[in-house]
A and B are shown apart, each in its own frame.
Chain A
Amino acid sequence: MTEDKTYIDELIAKYLTGEALPDEAIELEDWRSANAINHDYVSKVEQAYRITHMLPKAKEVDPYELFEKVKTQITVPPKQNALVTHLRDYATLWRVLAAVFVLGLGVIFALYFILDAKKGLSVYESGNGVLKQKLADGTQLELMANTKLELVDSKKRRFRLSGEATFYVVHNASDPFVIEAGGIQIKDIGTLFTVKAIEGNDSVHVKVAEGIVQVYSASDTIELHQHQIGVFIRSTQRLINFSKRKTNEKKIERVFHFSNSALKEAVEIINAAYPEKITLADRRLEKCLITVDFNGQPIEEIISILAETLGLSYDKIPSGYRLKGTACLP
Chain B
Amino acid sequence: MQATESQNIFNIREGDIRLFEQVFQMYCKELVRYANTILKNADEAEDIVQQLFVNLWQKRESLQVNTSMRSYLYRAVHNCCLNRIKQLSVKQTYTTYMGYAGEQHSAPASAAIQQKEVEKAIGVAIEKLPEQCRKIFKLSRQHGMRYQQIADELNLSVKTVENQMGKALKHMREQLKDYLPGVILFFLYHN
Q: Which residues of A line the B interface, CB within 8 A? A: 6, 9-23, 25-26, 29, 44-45, 47-59, 61, 63-64, 66-67, 69-70, 73-74, 76-77, 82, 153, 173-174, 176, 185, 216, 218-219
With a cutoff of 8 Å between Cβ atoms, the chain B residues found around residue A14 in the complex are: 147, 162, 165-166
Q: How far apart are B17's CB and chain A's nearest CB, in angstroms? A: 5
Question: Is B24 a contact partner of A63 (Cβ separation < 8 A)?
Answer: yes
With a cutoff of 8 Å between Cβ atoms, the chain B residues found around residue A11 in the complex are: 166
CA gap between A216 and B170 in the complex, in Å? 30
Please tell me which one of the listed residues B36, B50, B74, B125 contacts residue A58 in the complex, with CB atoms under 8 A apart: B36
CA gap between A9 and B165 in the complex, in Å? 8
CA gap between A277 and B28 in the complex, in Å? 38
Question: Is A74 a contact partner of B70 (Cβ separation < 8 A)?
Answer: no
Please tell me which one of the listed residues B34, B37, B57 contacts residue A74 in the complex, with CB atoms under 8 A apart: B57
Q: How far apart are A26's CB and chain B's nearest CB, in angstroms? A: 6
Please tell me which one of the listed residues A12, A18, A56, A57 contacts residue B166 in the complex, with CB atoms under 8 A apart: A12
Other A-B pairs beyond A22-B77, A53-B141, A55-B40, 8, CB < 8 Å: A9-B170, A13-B166, A14-B166, A20-B37, A48-B180, A51-B179, A64-B25, A66-B24
Please tell me which one of the listed residues A23, A44, A66, A77 contacts residue B28 in the complex, with CB atoms under 8 A apart: A66
With a cutoff of 8 Å between Cβ atoms, the chain A residues found around residue B15 in the complex are: 76-77, 82
CA gap between A53 and B98 in the complex, in Å? 9
A-B contacts, 26 listed (Cβ < 8 Å): A12-B166, A16-B37, A18-B40, A22-B34, A22-B71, A25-B78, A29-B30, A29-B34, A48-B176, A48-B180, A51-B122, A52-B141, A54-B98, A55-B97, A55-B100, A57-B184, A57-B191, A61-B46, A63-B29, A66-B46, A66-B49, A67-B28, A69-B50, A70-B57, A73-B50, A174-B3
Q: How far apart are B62's CB and chain A's nearest CB, in angstroms? A: 15
Please tell me which one of the listed residues A45, A173, A218 contacts residue B25 in the complex, with CB atoms under 8 A apart: A218
Q: How many A-B residue pairs have CB under 8 A?
A: 174
Q: How large is the interface on B (under 10, 10 to 19, 20 to 34, 35 or more residues)?
A: 35 or more
Can you list the 10 inter-chain pairs with the closest CB atoms, starting with the nearest? A10-B166, A22-B74, A9-B166, A57-B187, A219-B29, A59-B42, A18-B38, A13-B165, A48-B173, A48-B172
With a cutoff of 8 Å between Cβ atoms, the chain A residues found around residue B173 in the complex are: 44-45, 47-48
CA gap between A63 and B27 in the complex, in Å? 9
Please tell me which one of the listed residues A12, A53, A70 contacts residue B24 in the complex, with CB atoms under 8 A apart: A70
CA gap between A282 and B58 in the complex, in Å? 57
CA gap between A74 and B56 in the complex, in Å? 10
Question: Is B74 a contact partner of A25 (Cβ separation < 8 A)?
Answer: yes
Q: Which residues of B line the A interface, CB within 8 A? A: 3-4, 7, 15, 17-18, 21-22, 24-26, 28-30, 32-34, 36-40, 42-43, 46, 49-50, 53-54, 57-58, 70-71, 74-75, 77-78, 97-98, 100-101, 118, 122, 125-126, 137, 140-141, 146-147, 162-163, 165-170, 172-173, 176-177, 179-180, 183-184, 186-188, 190-191
CA gap between A275 and B91 in the complex, in Å? 56
Question: Is B50 a contact partner of A216 (Cβ separation < 8 A)?
Answer: no
Question: Is B147 a contact partner of A17 (Cβ separation < 8 A)?
Answer: yes
Q: How far apart are A89's CB and chain B's nearest CB, in angstroms? A: 13
Given A22-B78, A54-B98, A63-B29: A13 and B169 interface contact (C-beta under 8 Å): yes
With a cutoff of 8 Å between Cβ atoms, the chain B residues found around residue A66 in the complex are: 24, 28, 32, 46, 49-50
Question: Is A51 a contact partner of B78 (Cβ separation < 8 A)?
Answer: no
Please tell me which one of the listed residues A44, A56, A219 contacts residue B180 in the complex, with CB atoms under 8 A apart: A44
Given A63-B29, A218-B25: A9 and B40 interface contact (C-beta under 8 Å): no
CA gap between A20 and B37 in the complex, in Å? 9
Please tell me which one of the listed residues A16, A52, A67, A153 contacts residue B122 in the complex, with CB atoms under 8 A apart: A52
With a cutoff of 8 Å between Cβ atoms, the chain B residues found around residue A77 in the complex are: 15
Q: Which residue of A lies closest to B140 (CB)?
A: A17
Q: How far apart are A181's CB and chain B's nearest CB, in angstroms? A: 14
Output the residue of A22, A73, A185 with the most chain B CB within 10 A.
Answer: A22
CA gap between A22 and B73 in the complex, in Å? 9
Given A13-B165, A48-B173: A67 and B191 interface contact (C-beta under 8 Å): no
Given A17-B165, A58-B33: A51 and B183 interface contact (C-beta under 8 Å): yes
Q: How far apart are A5's CB and chain B's nearest CB, in angstroms? A: 8
Q: Which residue of B lies closest to A5 (CB)?
A: B170
CA gap between A177 and B187 in the complex, in Å? 43
Question: Is B71 a contact partner of A26 (Cβ separation < 8 A)?
Answer: yes
Question: Is B186 a contact partner of A51 (Cβ separation < 8 A)?
Answer: yes
